[in-house]
Structure 1
């Protein structure tokens, strides 16, 4: 079974327990992404799918998994997703009643893969799941971090590939000076 994972953030440089059977390839689907989720460990403002955001290029890689359930489980472990939220791991074919991103379904059909998984965490700010931070809230969240936590957040934003050019990223660059690293952000390219 040819299962692929779509990525746009830290999965690109630290896949963790997600076992890949290839490097990351450009040419994933264009998806509505924004820096809009304060992570549960408050170390970053993660990129997540945000309906209405501009479409951004993503990456894909083959997953080393025997079936879709195994691929979903590995991605859930990597993302530290609680079993009570199976919808936070997107897949096509869809399981557990999760909504399907139409852009991803169309991309999968065009590419001829058997299945695809992706992180489907919602926006979150100030502990409120599903709430999209305003641009000011997003930048203020990052500006308020200190020490190692601030460095981890800064690294996340800077390490994200430069072509993932979102509205919030431009504000973060303008206010905090966190520009993309010049080195290749994707370390496991095919």
Structure 2
């Protein structure tokens, strides 16, 4: 079974326990993404799927897994997603109540790939799951960070590939000067 992972954020440079069978390839599906999730275990502002956000490019890589369940488990471990939230790992074929991301389904349909997985975490801000912050709130949140926490948040934002250009990213760059790194993002890209 050919299984790919669709990615756009830190998975590109830090796949962790997600075992890849290839490097990251450009040309993944265009997806509605925005920097709209304050992390549970750090003060990063993660790039997540957001209904209504402009579609931006993504990457894809083959996953080294014998089946879809193993691939989903690896991605869940990497993303620190509790077993009680299978919907936070998207997949085609769909499993665990996660809605099908139609852009990914269409992208898969045009290729000879059997299955796909992706991180399906929703926006979350100020402790409220599903809450989409405003650009003003995002800038204020990031500006309030200090020390190593601020450095980690800035690194995440700047290391995300430059062509993943979202409205909030442009506001953050103007307000805080956090522009994409020239050598941003992807490891082992082929």
Q: Which whole-Å deviations, capped at 9, do the CAs of 1:85-125 have from their partners, x for residues lacking one?
A: 10000000001121001000111111120000000000000
Aligned residue in 2 for 1:139: 139
Aligned residue in 1 for 2:2: 2
Query: Pairwise mapping of residues 23-62 of structure 1 onto structure 2 (< 5 A)?
Result: 23-62=23-62
Gaps of 5+ in 2: none
TM-score normalized by the length of structure 2: 0.98
Aligned residue in 1 for 2:130: 130
SS of 1:111's partner is: coil
Gaps of 5+ in 1: none
Q: Distance in 1 between matches of 2:24 and 2:95?
A: 25
Say how many residue pairs are matched. Answer: 190
TM-score normalized by the length of structure 1: 0.98
Larger mean CA deviation between 177-186 and 125-134 belongs to: 177-186
Q: Distance in 2 between matches of 1:127 and 1:42?
A: 13
Query: Pairwise mapping of residues 1-190 of structure 1 onto structure 2 (< 5 A)?
Result: 1-190=1-190
CA-CA distance at 1:47 after TM superposition:
0.2
Query: Is contact 2:158-2:184 (8 Å) kept?
Result: no
Structure 1: 4+ residue segments shifted above 6 A: none
Query: What is the root-mean-square deviation in Å for CA atoms of aligned residues?
Result: 0.7
Q: Distance in 1 between matches of 2:130 and 2:184?
A: 32
